[in-house]
A = this chain, B = another copy of it.
Amino acid sequence: MKDLVLAVVGGTGALGGGLALRLARAGFKVSIGSRDAGRAADAAKEVADATGSDRISGTDNFSAAKDADIVFVTVPFASQSATLGDIASVVKGKIVVDTTVPLVPPKVARVQLPAEGSAAAIAAKALGDDVRLVTGFHNVSSHKLSGEGETGCDVLIFGDDVEAREQIVEITNQLGVRALHGGPLDNSVAAEAMTSLLIAINKRYKVKDGAGIMITGIPAG
């Protein structure tokens, strides 16, 4: 699994940067994508310096997606459809992990689901049937992901393709994060909506590092 090339499209953003750091630290081959290939190369150098990994590079989003085995997409909601549309032709048959949370500024602490129902539904439409769509990482703050050690919260992974979902759960579990199967894509909306709720909790309870969720009651092992 460590020989797979994992692209992080939008990898110069806060969440994508944290994810690239954790993937690199865990020894994966990582390709950071950005609209600006130069910025992606700079970000890759930063991650290489921080982790000591020589298995990380940077390029434009399209090239990163085209040359990868698995593609993580970490872009703001406003860019989701366009970004997925841009890479759709080069990710057929691949696992694409969409992390989009449908936040609508300025009221990001209020759940405002899209007409399509969820960001997962928008992704499914933008990518088409031949892509192995998985969603996840909605409820982990970029701050926590960028740090070292355990994040202290769970990551929920969704997908109708159970084998694809299993592979992403396995990869995520190597990143110092507990990943759990959340069920089919229809369930993604629960985690997507939860993010606005966590932002509301951050404000109300003055949480500095970002509130998260943990699922309780799961037997050990």
Contact = CB atoms under 8 A, between A and B. Distances in A.
A116 interface: no
A197 B201 contact: no
B186 A205 contact: no
Contacts of A198: 215
Contacts of A194: 190, 194
Contact size range, A: 35 or more
A219 B207 contact: yes
Contacts of A184: 110
Given A113-B189, A194-B190, A194-B194, A200 B181 contact: yes
Contacts of A113: 117, 189
Nearest to A194: B190
A210 B217 CA distance: 7
Interface of A: 109-113, 117, 152-153, 156, 180-184, 186-187, 189-191, 193-194, 196-198, 200-201, 204-207, 209-219
